[in-house]
Structure 1
Amino acid sequence: MKLKRLRDHPKLLEQAAAWFASKWEVPVEAYKESMELCIRQQQGIPQWYVVLDEKQGIIAGAGVIENDFHERRDLTPNLCALFVEENYRCQGIARSILDFIRKDLGEMGVSKVYLITDHMEFYERCGWKFLTMVRCEEGELIRMYEADCCGWDVSLA
């Protein structure tokens, strides 16, 4: 399995946009637009990451965007769309993605990254800290976590 930064592998754009759209209720066009900006600008936000299996199929991935559909525009950037295919879960892939992203963002000068989730225990085991409750665009309250991006020693795949 190989973890790839989409900005380094622009040929994966169509495949990645379709894969993420199939996992989340966001149109493929929205993913494509964000991913095209990631590839075009190279540094900064947004960023997208995928994990490929031996047949070059996407088995996991995540993104980093300015805001993940919540009211706290000041808490940015946000990790989003983390997903691991069911057959590949419980193998440390999600944790590897999280660590890789934190290191990559730290190298870009980002000091903190945020996420909203109801999967509290998993993120806490991965070193994320509860920050506050935030209101989503749908009106519900959800937990927001933060993590530092500097000082990581994670080898790039």
Structure 2
Amino acid sequence: MQSDIALQRLSADDPNAEIVAGWTFATWGHLHPGLTPEQAIERLKAECGQAGVPSIFVAMQGETPVGTASLIADDMSIRRELAPWLASVFVVPEWRGRGIASALVRRVEAEAVENGIEHFYLYTPDQQSLYRHLGWQDVESLEYRGETVTVMSRQLRL
């Protein structure tokens, strides 16, 4: 990752919270029928915890946010027994290919370990190779809200 990128915890009162909510709504809003952009902002702000679950991290290039990732309690309504989740890993298109997504995933993993979480999950329709490269393992493939996705898990050492 570029050395001028900083990863920081997002707080609900951070002006970048609305930008991050806009990214996640534009990218995954279709998975939540009926969710409005305003509700997406409120939901994101509610997930801006101070430690552990929930937590949202943002990659910053100076004063500009360029990526995000979250650690949340529930990301898949049909698999509520699985928890917690790595979610909303997103990097602005012009910043992709620079290791930012990997760094964000590692930051969420570190947050999990710091808070006693040994095992957590994610689902993805198209980024399996990235997560496998980072040590995640396939759990199952299933249909979720009109998409074929892979549920993956990561065992962490405390």
TM-score by length of 1: 0.79
Runs of at least 5 residues in structure 2 that lack an aligned partner in the other structure: none
Q: Secondary structure at the match of 1:43?
A: coil
- For the 8 Å contact 1:6–1:35, the answer to whether it is kept is no
- Aligned pair count? 147
Change (3 A) 1:47 1:34: farther
* Matched ranges for 1:74-85 at <5 A: 74-85=81-92
Out of 85, 94, 101, the residue aligned to residue 108 of structure 2 is 101
Q: Which residue of structure 1 aligns with residue 22 of structure 2?
A: 18
Percent identity for Structure 1 against Structure 2:
25
Task: Tell me which amino acid in the other structure corresponds to 2:27.
Answer: K
Point out the more displaced range, 87-96 or 126-135.
Answer: 126-135
Out of 3, 6, 14, the residue aligned to residue 2 of structure 1 is 6
- For the 8 Å contact 1:110–1:149, the answer to whether it is kept is yes
Q: Deviations over 1:81-116 (max 9, x none)?
A: 111112211111111111110011111122212001
Change (3 A) 1:149 1:108: same
Q: Give the superposed CA RMSD.
A: 2.3
Q: Secondary structure at the match of 1:24?
A: helix
Q: Which residue of structure 2 aligns with residue 128 of structure 1?
A: 136
Out of 35, 39, 53, the residue aligned to residue 45 of structure 1 is 53
Change (3 A) 1:72 1:23: closer
- For the 8 Å contact 1:102–1:148, the answer to whether it is kept is no
- For the 8 Å contact 2:9–2:56, the answer to whether it is kept is yes
Q: Which residue of structure 1 aligns with residue 119 of structure 2?
A: 112
**Cα distance in structure 1, aligned partners of 2:146 and 2:67:** 29
Q: Which residue of structure 2 aligns with residue 58 of structure 1?
A: 65
Q: Which residue of structure 2 aligns with residue 154 of structure 1?
A: none
- For the 8 Å contact 2:52–2:114, the answer to whether it is kept is no
Out of 28, 35, 39, the residue aligned to residue 44 of structure 2 is 35
Change (3 A) 1:148 1:38: same
Q: Secondary structure at the match of 2:79?
A: coil
Change (3 A) 1:129 1:58: same
Q: Secondary structure at the match of 2:74?
A: coil
**Cα distance in structure 2, aligned partners of 1:70 and 1:47:** 19
**Cα distance in structure 2, aligned partners of 1:116 and 1:10:** 28
TM-score by length of 2: 0.78
Point out the more displaced range, 120-129 or 17-26.
Answer: 17-26
